[in-house]
Amino acid sequence: MIQLVDVTKMFDRFAAVKGANMMVPKGSIYGLLGPNGAGKTTLLKMMAGILRQDRGTITVDGEDVWENVRVKQRLLFLPDFVYFFPHATIRQMADFYEQLYPSFSRGRFTELRSAFSLDVDQKIQQFSKGMQRQAAFWLAFSVQPDVLIMDEPLDGLDAFVRRHVKQLLIEEVAEREMTVVISSHNLRELEDLCDIVGLMAQGTVRMERDLNELRAGMHKIQVAFRGGFPSELAERLDIVHREERGSIVLLVVRGEKRSIEETVSSFAPLILDVLPLSLEEIFVYEMGDVVDVRETVVG
Ligand SMILES: Nc1ncnc2c1ncn2[C@@H]1O[C@H](COP(=O)(O)OP(=O)(O)OP(=O)(O)O)[C@@H](O)[C@H]1O
């Protein structure tokens, strides 16, 4: 488990992160969302022990991260600009990672060779940006860290590789209970990957939510009634959005699916359809009052 309590980071007199709190349960994938300049990179660098917080605590399984070799051997940070030694090949970087991380697995490295079709003996600097990122993922998966922290890692990957990398991440989490934190400014990018999403704006984590709970707690329905929409029904539902399209009424309603269906059915509707609600819509309706979600993370 990763825990941040009241974490602040100052750059001179500017607070890039201000009293941030965050909890990432073991074996979960946490998506840190936020607009440019929200403080995501600064927060992740502190979580990885690269920057030191000015205030607050950051722990992995109860141990402070800062200057803690034991924690750092179990934790891997993939920055937004991946760095390799000049002139190094993947093979040489693998040798280096093997010395650095006791958990590095040669077997896993070889196994993943077919997943990333890159030449292990070519200089990484000669690779395209997307290929360099693939190399970084290959090495990261070979390290088999307990905690993987990634800053906008999917940027620059083509759709095929992106899907493949997401699949590998999900497998690692399921098989080894790896804990993953991944930042992005795009909710759509994370929606099929994360268990929890934290929304960051102006240096603070404004909200943390379990995605399954979010999905179970809000529904979109399409209804029609003879003689118009009963006002009594409106009082019995927790409606967060309402749109009329002729005689059809489209509602976004808070609550469990079964109970919503039962309530609406008791008013004998001519039509009652439950429609899928995207995570993006849930965010807009659920958190729109906290930050301008549409502006910030669904763009
Ligand atoms: N080394 C630094 N010195 C001064 N200010 C900094 C430094 N690093 C970051 N900042 C400032 O802190 C704020 C947060 O930056 P950060 O890079 O953490 O945001 P971000 O959410 O990762 O943004 P993006 O999505 O654009 O990558 C910004 O206003 C940035 O200018």
Question: What's residue 1's pLDDT?
Answer: 94
Residue type, 85: F
Question: What's residue 285's pLDDT?
Answer: 80
What's the mean pLDDT in 79-88? Answer: 89
- What pLDDT band is residue 297 in, cutting at 50, 70 and 90? low
Percent of the chain scoring above 90 in pLDDT: 74
What's the mean pLDDT in 199-207? Answer: 90
Sheet containing strand 55-60, strands side by side: 14-24, 2-11, 55-60, 63-64
CA atoms within 13 A on the CB side of 24: 28
Question: What's residue 50's pLDDT?
Answer: 96
Q: What is the ipTM of this complex?
A: 0.97
Pocket test for ligand 1, best of 9, 22, 40 (most atoms within 8 A of CB): 40
Per-residue pLDDT tens over the stretch 16-67: 999 999 999 999 999 999 888 999 999 999 999 999 999 999 999 999 999 9
Per-residue pLDDT tens over the stretch 98-136: 999 999 999 999 999 988 889 999 999 999 999 999 999
How far is the CA of 171 from the CAs of 105, 164, 216, in angstroms?
16, 11, 24
Contact 203, 18 (CB under 8 A): yes
Question: What's residue 215's pLDDT?
Answer: 86
Ligand 1 contacts CB of residue 185 (under 6 A) = yes
Complete domains list, the chain, with CATH:
2-213 (3.40.50.300), 217-298 (3.30.70)
Task: Please name the residues in contact with 138: beta carbons below 8 A apart, sequence gap of 6 or more.
Answer: 90, 109, 112, 115, 116, 118
How far is ligand 1, taken at its centre, from the CA of residue 136, in Å? 23
∠ Cα 2 77 183 (to 5°): 70
What ligand 1 atom has the least distance to the C-alpha of 45? 18
Ligand 1 contacts CB of residue 36 (under 6 A) = yes
Per-residue pLDDT tens over the stretch 220-237: 999 999 989 999 999 999
Ligand 1 contacts CB of residue 296 (under 6 A) = no
pLDDT at 295 over 60: no
- The overall average pLDDT reported for the chain is 91
